[in-house]
Chains A and B, each alone.
Chain A
């Protein structure tokens, strides 16, 4: 446990009568992709909210690199090195790719109350952002407005935005959603290379990608982690088969 970059300890979250998160403990270690899967309504979004900071757990703690981030705001967590992508693309559509990616670089360097120097000529911002885009093989689209991008390219930009934070951990929420086989394969390849630099907590419906990418898999059903192990173990696990039986997404 000591080397865990991201660690969830006994999280509980309740909405009225619904126990959306029930005693969830998870960790993410250096150099790995840890996938979190589960049928619809299993409480994945609620759990992501508690990790990313849009929801507070009722009980339990969240640690990032040893720091307790349970009560921190979304922005504070990001500055500490938690990068995330969204299930539904959340980029600023009218702005260029670069302007989207640069924001993370800007947050990392200092506060944003700098009123004078134009960002468009600021190489302290441009260079790291460009590097993050190159990492996602998208530097040729740097000055294209986001609304002109394809769906797959947006996914890559989202990850590049997260990379601009020089993250200690990445939280990717269904990055493959809506991608065709080709886009999915490309992103899989990129993530596989990325995990050596930064560990990834991957929430994903695309089982093929999960089984190919994940070093470890946790299965969330009705707010609880019911199984945990490598892809082989998960494929064999009877409880997982039961939980997914009849579920169209499985």
Chain B
């Protein structure tokens, strides 16, 4: 067999995904288009509230994109992603606190000042969340199944209780961010600008996930999820593949956490709570696990239920519970499965 003939012969034929392009692509474009256009319209009609609501949807979707990489694509059911979301948030909060106070974050062995630059905050959030996930993942990924679920939960609780009882940064009261951290050239305190920043972040996170899953790394991660014995037999150790995916997943969720703290001007241990870990999982599952647009669909649905159902009854989580139970028991492919047809791999 020569290479010239193989060029045309061996390439992957159009997959199911492509033949479904019409419906799936349309649903995805509408979803993303509405998310972009509605806040812009709201802004020019003077409804800043809805712009901020859209930012909230976007950020939570981004956090869920991170978790989806672990659960949906990697098969690692992390019940502790609030740890990274919260850590990202605390990075933004603590950095702003020291910048505002003009006190150093650290004075020994070398001086680390606070910073009100979003770029610095984001970089620090991503790096610190990656390091935390490296430590937690290295221990947790030695186990599988229920152990993994419980251990990731337990480690997140550890961070939660730590934040609760560490008095320097507000303990259980949390930490306010008086002035939103800044970017060069643009005014991050403007609601629409900040939404567009978040939107860019979400699109980038989704693009990275998509590209990643098509690469050699993605092929190995997919195999690790489906059949790790096959992966090892093919010569690739599953553990480092999973660990790296876990770290990337945590970094994305952590970046979302930093954006969230700056959106609200506030960070508290509730960002670290196990309820939030659970809600992120719920969002991933509601949207459709292991689907690129699933987290976005799930986040839209979740925040809409929270906002509109929560406006009608303070017991809205009762209905969230019922919906979730229904989805888990009867509608396995989530909103995106229902809207865009079911298929997942390849």
Direct contact of A and B (CB under 8 A): yes
Assess the B7–A103 pair: CB atoms within 8 A: no
Assembly CA distance A99 to B10 (angstroms) = 12
Q: Which residue of B lies closest to A161 (CB)?
A: B234
Assembly CA distance A93 to B222 (angstroms) = 12
Bits for A108-139, please: 1 = Cβ < 8 Å to B, else 0. 10001111111111110111011100100000
The residue that B214 contacts in the complex, of A52, A94, A119, A164, with Cβ under 8 A, is: A119
Q: Does B215 contact A (CB under 8 A)?
A: yes
Bits for B9-20, please: 1 = Cβ < 8 Å to A, else 0. 111110000000
The residue that A75 contacts in the complex, of B218, B219, B232, with Cβ under 8 A, is: B232
Q: Does B227 contact A (CB under 8 A)?
A: yes
Known: A73-B237, A134-B1. A90 touches B229 (CB 8 A): yes
- Interface residues of chain B: helix, strand, loop or mixed (majority): helix
**CB within 8 Å of B: which A3-62 residues:** 52
Assess the B226–A123 pair: CB atoms within 8 A: no
Residues on A with C-beta less than 8 A from B238 are: 75
Q: Does B196 contact A (CB under 8 A)?
A: no
Assess the A130–B226 pair: CB atoms within 8 A: no
Residues on B with C-beta less than 8 A from A134 are: 1
Distance in angstroms from A108 CB to nearest chain B CB is: 6
Assembly CA distance A106 to B235 (angstroms) = 9
Q: Which of B3, B223, B235 has the most CB of A within 10 A?
A: B235
Residues on B with C-beta less than 8 A from A145 are: 346
Interface size class of B (residues with CB under 8 A): 35 or more
**CB within 8 Å of B: which A65-82 residues:** 73-76, 78-79
Interface size class of A (residues with CB under 8 A): 35 or more
Assess the B219–A165 pair: CB atoms within 8 A: no
Known: A116-B211, A165-B234. A121 touches B11 (CB 8 A): yes
Known: A73-B232, A79-B235, A119-B216. A126 touches B223 (CB 8 A): no
Chain A residues in the interface with B (C-beta under 8 A): 52, 73-76, 78-79, 84, 86, 90-96, 98-100, 102-104, 106-108, 112-123, 125-127, 129-131, 134, 142-143, 145, 161, 164-165
4 more A-B residue pairs beyond the given contacts A78-B233, A100-B230, with a C-beta to C-beta distance below 8 A: A102-B219, A108-B235, A115-B217, A126-B12
